[in-house]
C-alpha cells in the first residue's frame, strides 16, 4: 500500500511516495495583479458574434471526464471506461493497453515509462516509475564482445538497437496494474474487455500506420513481426483491417490473472524460450522479479504555480524544471510568445537544462542522484552565469561529441475524470517499433532500451551523457530517459494543466513551450500547443527549429550567435487545461490521428 498523505512540505521530502497539496504555495517573488475595468457601451457586446473566433486552434471543452491521446480510437476507449463509471486511473489502464493496437510503433506493453497520478479527494500526487530494466543476465562483454570503454570504436552498437539483445525487461504491465490496484474503481476484467475486443476485431490501417511500418526495416528482420505488419512482403495497406489475435490472448491472460498473467506462466515462458533461441538475455526469473515502483514527483514554484514532473531515472523533468527556474528571472510576457528574445531565452535555458541532466541522472536504485543540488539555488545561479539577453552562449565553450541517439517514438496521454482525479502518462518502446522483435505467440513488440545506457563511462577524454556516471550500464538497472509527464497546480493548489509529449530529447522542449505559453503568455491550450518549437541541446552548437518559425526571427537569432538548423516537428503534446472548473483539451496537430474524447 502507498503511505497516507501529509501536508506539502517545502523540501519535497524524498522519503514520501507522493506530494500532498493544500492551499499554501511558496513563491520566489510576489506578483501583483491589477484589475482594469473597461466601460463599454452595451451595444458593443451585442456586435460580437460567437463565430468571430479569436484563434484557429480550438480546444475541446467540457466539465466532466476527458481523454487526450495520440490516437482518437484509444481516447474513445478511455471515454468508454469513464462512461461505465470508471475513474481516470481505470481509463489510463484502458488507453495504455489500447495504444498497443492503434499505435503499435509506440504503444508500450513491451516497453516502459513514467506516470503521475493525482487523487483529488486526498489532494495527493503520486509518481510511478515503470521504466524497462536490464536483465540480470546481461553484461558488457556478452553484449558487445569487446572491453568498454577502451574498445568503444570496435563495438557494434547495432546490437543494442535491433534484435533480441536490445531489449530490457518490459515494465508497462506492472506499472498500469500497480496504479489500478491502488486507485482504480472498476474490475480489471471490465477495463480490458473493450481493448481485447478491439484487438480481436482489428482496426482500420491508417495512412500513417502504413507509412510508419514501411519505414521500419527492423520489422522485416523478425519473422513474427513480419507476419503481423506485412502482407506479401508489403506493409499492411491503408484501409485494410489489422487484427491482433495473439495480443488479444495475452491481454485476456492479464485480465484473468493480473500480473501473473504476464510476468509468470505461459507468457513469461514464451519470453524465455524466444530469448534463449535468439541469444537474448531476459529469462523467467527477470520477468517474475520485475516491479514498478512508487517514487517522488519533483517540483518547483514558477510564477505562483507549482510545476511537478517525474524524477530519476528520467532526466527530462530535470531539464524542464531547470529551464523554468532560469526563466523565472525574466519577465517573459513582455517579449511576446513569438519574439526573437523569447526564442533566444528558450534556447539558452534549454541548453543549460540538458547540461544539467547529462552527468548525474540515473537509476536511483544504483546511483545516489543529487536532485536537491541539481535544482538548488546555487546550481541555478551557476547555470545562469554567462547568460546574456542579447547574445548566444559561445559554442566554443562546449566540447562537441556524438551522443547516443534518443528514440522519438514515445507516446503520451492525459486524462481527467469528473471528480478531478487525473493521470499524466508517457511510455515508450524506444525507437519506432522498438527493437523490431515480437515475442512469438504473444503479440508483444519489444523495446530497444539497452540503447539508452552510457557505454562510454570511464572514458576520461569526453564529457556528456555518453559517459555519464549516473547512467553507466549495470545488470538490473533502468536507463536514463527524457520522458516527463507533467502537472501544474495554481496558487490555490488547484490542478490547472496536465501535459506531456513524445520526442526523445525534444520532450522537455515541447512541454516547456506549452507551460510557458499558458502561464506566461495567457494562451489557450490550442494556441500554446501550436507555438513553434526549438531545441538547444548540450553539448551541441546547433539550435534546431521547426519550419513555422519566421525567417526574420531566424536571421535575428543568427546575428545573436546561434547556429540555426532546420528540424522536423518536435513532439506531440496531449494536454488538458483546467480553468474555473472547465476542461480545455487539445491534441497536438504535429502527428496524425490524435484526438480528445470527452464525456457529455
CB 70 within 8 A of CB 587: yes
Neighbour count for residue 585 (Cβ, 10 Å): 27
CB 204 within 8 A of CB 210: no
Neighbour count for residue 390 (Cβ, 10 Å): 10
- The rounded distance, in Å, linking the Cα atoms of 481 and 407 is 10
CB 327 within 8 A of CB 350: no
Place of cell 530529447: 505
- The rounded distance, in Å, linking the Cα atoms of 334 and 90 is 42
Place of cell 488547484: 494
The answer as to whether 596 is a domain residue is no
The answer as to whether 97 is a domain residue is yes
CB 155 within 8 A of CB 148: yes
151 burial class (0-12, 13-18, 19+ CB within 10 angstroms)?
Answer: exposed
Look at residue 99 and give its three-state secondary structure. helix
- Residues 246-274 have pLDDT tens digits of 999 999 999 999 999 999 999 999 999 99
- The rounded distance, in Å, linking the Cα atoms of 408 and 432 is 7
DSSP state of 160: G
542 φ, ψ (degrees, to nearest 5): -70, 145
pLDDT (0 to 100) of residue 398: 35
520: nearest Cα among 309, 327, 377, 357? 327
- The rounded distance, in Å, linking the Cα atoms of 343 and 246 is 48
Q: How far is CA 586 from the centre of its chain?
A: 16
Supply the range of the domain harboring residue 134.
68-202+243-289+299-391+413-590
- The rounded distance, in Å, linking the Cα atoms of 172 and 109 is 5
- The rounded distance, in Å, linking the Cα atoms of 163 and 356 is 32
Cell triple for 385:
552565469
450: nearest Cα among 223, 275, 216? 275
pLDDT (0 to 100) of residue 408: 63
372: nearest Cα among 31, 9, 4, 21? 9
The answer as to whether 208 is a domain residue is no
DSSP state of 36: P
Q: pTM value?
A: 0.91
The answer as to whether 137 is a domain residue is yes
pLDDT (0 to 100) of residue 406: 52
The answer as to whether 45 is a domain residue is no
Triad 491, 493, 494: Cα angle to 5°: 105
pLDDT (0 to 100) of residue 48: 58
The answer as to whether 15 is a domain residue is no
531 φ, ψ (degrees, to nearest 5): -60, 140
The answer as to whether 106 is a domain residue is yes
Quickly list DSSP for 529-595.
HTS--EE--SS--EEEE-TTS-HHHHHHHHHTT-EEEE-------EEEEEETTEEEEEE-TTSTT-E
Domain count within the chain: 1
pLDDT (0 to 100) of residue 47: 53
Residues in the chain: 600
29 φ, ψ (degrees, to nearest 5): -155, 155
CB 502 within 8 A of CB 113: no
Helical (H) or strand (E) element with 445: strand 444-445
Low pLDDT (below 50) residues in the chain: 4-17, 22-42, 44-46, 395-405
- The rounded distance, in Å, linking the Cα atoms of 27 and 397 is 34
CB 514 within 8 A of CB 573: yes
137 φ, ψ (degrees, to nearest 5): -90, -10
The answer as to whether 249 is a domain residue is yes
Place of cell 570504436: 153
By annotation, the residues acting in catalysis are 410
Look at residue 415 and give its three-state secondary structure. strand
State the CATH number of the domain containing residue 140: 3.60.20.40
136 burial class (0-12, 13-18, 19+ CB within 10 angstroms)?
Answer: middle
Amino acid at each position: 500500500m502507498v503511505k497516507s498523505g501529509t501536508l506539502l512540505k517545502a523540501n519535497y521530502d524524498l522519503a514520501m511516495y507522493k506530494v500532498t497539496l493544500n492551499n499554501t504555495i511558496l513563491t520566489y517573488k510576489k506578483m501583483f495583479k491589477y484589475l482594469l475595468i473597461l466601460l463599454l457601451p452595451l451595444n458593443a457586446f451585442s456586435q460580437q458574434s460567437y463565430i468571430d473566433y479569436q484563434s484557429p486552434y480550438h480546444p475541446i471543452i467540457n466539465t466532466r471526464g476527458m481523454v487526450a491521446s495520440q490516437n482518437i480510437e484509444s481516447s474513445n476507449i478511455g471515454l468508454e471506461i469513464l462512461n461505465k463509471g470508471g475513474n481516470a486511473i481505470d481509463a489510463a489502464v484502458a488507453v495504455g493497453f489500447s495504444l498497443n493496437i492503434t499505435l503499435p510503433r509506440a504503444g508500450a506493453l513491451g516497453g516502459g515509462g513514467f506516470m503521475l497520478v493525482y487523487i483529488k479527494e486526498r489532494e495527493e500526487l503520486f509518481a510511478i516509475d515503470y521504466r524497462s530494466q536490464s536483465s540480470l543476465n546481461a553484461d558488457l562483454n556478452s553484449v558487445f564482445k569487446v572491453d568498454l570503454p577502451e574498445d568503444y570504436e570496435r563495438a557494434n552498437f547495432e546490437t543494442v538497437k535491433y534484435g533480441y539483445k536490445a531489449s530490457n525487461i518490459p515494465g508497462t504491465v506492472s506499472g498500469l496494474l500497480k496504479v489500478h490496484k491502488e486507485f482504480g474503481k472498476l474490475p480489471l476484467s471490465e477495463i480490458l474487455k473493450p481493448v481485447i475486443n478491439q484487438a480481436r476485431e482489428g482496426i482500420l490501417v491508417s495512412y500513417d500506420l502504413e507509412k510508419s511500418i514501411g519505414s521500419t526495416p527492423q520489422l522485416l528482420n523478425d519473422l513474427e513481426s513480419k507476419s503481423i505488419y506485412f502482407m506479401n512482403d508489403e506493409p499492411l495497406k491503408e484501409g485494410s483491417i489489422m487484427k491482433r489475435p495473439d495480443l488479444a490472448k495475452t491481454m485476456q491472460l492479464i485480465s484473468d490473472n493480473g500480473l501473473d498473467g504476464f510476468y509468470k506462466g505461459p507468457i513469461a515462458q514464451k519470453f524465455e524460450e524466444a530469448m534463449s533461441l535468439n541469444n537474448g538475455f531476459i529469462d523467467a526469473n527477470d520477468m517474475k522479479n520485475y516491479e514498478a515502483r512508487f517514487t517522488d514527483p519533483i517540483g518547483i514554484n514558477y510564477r505562483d504555480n507549482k510545476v511537478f514532473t517525474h524524477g530519476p531515472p528520467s532526466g527530462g523533468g530535470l531539464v524542464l524544471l531547470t529551464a523554468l527556474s532560469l526563466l523565472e528571472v525574466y519577465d517573459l510576457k513582455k517579449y511576446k510568445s513569438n519574439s526573437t528574445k523569447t526564442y533566444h531565452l528558450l534556447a539558452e535555458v534549454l541548453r543549460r537544462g540538458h547540461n544539467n541532466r547529462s552527468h548525474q541522472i540515473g537509476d536511483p536504485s544504483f546511483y545516489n542522484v543529487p536532485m536537491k543540488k541539481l535544482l538548488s539555488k546555487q546550481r541555478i545561479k551557476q547555470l545562469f552565469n554567462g547568460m546574456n539577453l542579447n547574445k548566444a552562449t559561445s559554442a566554443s565553450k562546449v566540447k562537441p561529441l556524438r551522443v547516443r541517439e534518443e528514440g522519438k517514438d514515445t507516446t503520451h496521454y492525459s486524462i481527467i475524470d469528473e471528480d478531478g482525479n487525473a493521470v499524466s502518462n508517457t511510455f515508450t518502446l524506444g525507437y519506432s517499433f522498438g527493437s523490431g522483435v515480437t515475442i512469438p505467440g504473444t503479440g508483444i513488440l519489444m523495446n530497444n532500451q539497452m540503447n539508452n545506457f552510457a557505454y562510454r563511462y570511464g572514458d576520461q577524454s569526453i564529457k556528456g551523457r555518453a559517459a555519464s556516471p549516473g547512467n553507466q550500464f549495470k545488470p538490473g538497472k533502468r536507463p536514463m530517459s527524457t520522458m516527463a509527464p507533467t502537472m501544474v497546480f495554481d496558487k490555490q493548489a488547484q490542478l490547472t494543466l496536465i501535459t506531456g509529449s513524445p520526442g526523445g530529447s525534444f520532450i522537455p522542449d515541447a512541454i516547456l513551450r506549452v507551460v510557458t505559453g499558458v502561464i506566461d503568455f495567457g494562451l489557450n491550450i490550442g494556441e500554446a500547443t501550436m507555438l513553434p518549437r526549438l531545441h538547444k541541446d548540450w553539448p551541441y552548437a546547433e539550435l534546431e527549429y521547426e519550419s513555422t518559425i519566421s525567417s526574420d526571427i531566424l536571421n535575428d537569432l543568427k546575428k545573436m550567435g546561434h547556429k540555426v538548423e532546420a528540424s522536423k516537428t518536435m513532439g506531440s503534446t496531449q494536454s488538458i487545461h483546467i480553468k474555473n472548473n472547465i476542461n480545455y483539451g487539445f491534441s497536438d496537430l504535429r502527428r496524425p490521428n490524435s484526438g480528445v474524447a470527452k464525456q457529455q
